Amino acid sequence: MKPFAYERPVTAADAVAALAAGGSTARYLGGGTNLVDLMKLGVDQPDHLVDVSRLSRATIDETHDGGLLIGGGVLNSQLAADPIVRARYPVLARALLSGASGQLRNQATVAGNLLQRTRCSYFQDISKPCNKRRPGSGCPARDGHHRELAILGHSASCLATHPSDMAVAMTVLDARIRLLGTDGPREIPLAELYRLPGDQPDRETQLDPGDLITAIELPPLTAAHSDYRKVRDRASFAFALVSVAALLDVADGHVRESRIAFGGIAPIPWRARRAERVLRGAPATPESFARAAAAELDLARPLPDNAFKVTLAANLLVETLVDLAQR
Q: Which residues bind another protein (CB under 8 A)?
A: 1, 3-8, 29, 31-33, 36-37, 40, 47, 49, 51, 53, 77, 80-81, 83, 86-87, 90, 93-94, 97-98, 100-104, 106-107, 235-237
Q: Which is nearer to another protein, 146 or 230 (CB)?
A: 230
- Count of C-beta atoms within a 10 Å radius of residue 186: 12
Instruction: Compare residues 194 and 239 and give the one whose CB is closer to another protein.
Output: 239
Nearer to another protein, 40 or 186 (CB): 40
CB of 107 to another protein, least distance (A): 5
Give the C-alpha separation, 6 to 78, whole Å. 26
Handedness of CA 228, 229, 230, 234 (dihedral sign): positive
A 10 A CB-CB count for 256 gives: 16
Which of residues 2 and 186 has its CB atom nearest to another protein in the complex?
2
Q: Smaller CB distance to another protein: residue 53 or 157?
A: 53
For residues 154 and 229, which CB has a smaller minimum distance to another protein in the complex?
229
The distance of closest approach from Cβ of residue 69 to another protein in the complex, given in angstroms and rounded to an integer, is: 21
3-state DSSP assignment of residue 274:
helix
Query: Residue 104 and residue 88: Cα distance in Å, rounded?
Result: 24
Strands 26-29 and 48-51 come out as: parallel
Residue ranges of the alpha helices (H) in 23-121?
35-41, 76-81, 83-88, 90-98, 102-105, 110-114
Shortest Å, Cβ 54 to another protein = 8
Q: How far is the CB of 183 from another protein (least distance, A)?
A: 24
Give pairs for 17-21: CB < 8 Å, separation 24+: 17/182, 18/50, 19/50, 19/210, 19/212, 20/182, 20/210
- Closest contact distance (angstroms) between CB of 275 and another protein is 25
Query: What are the Cα distances from residue 82, in Å, to 115, 161, 190, 307?
Result: 22, 28, 21, 38
CB of 101 to another protein, least distance (A): 3
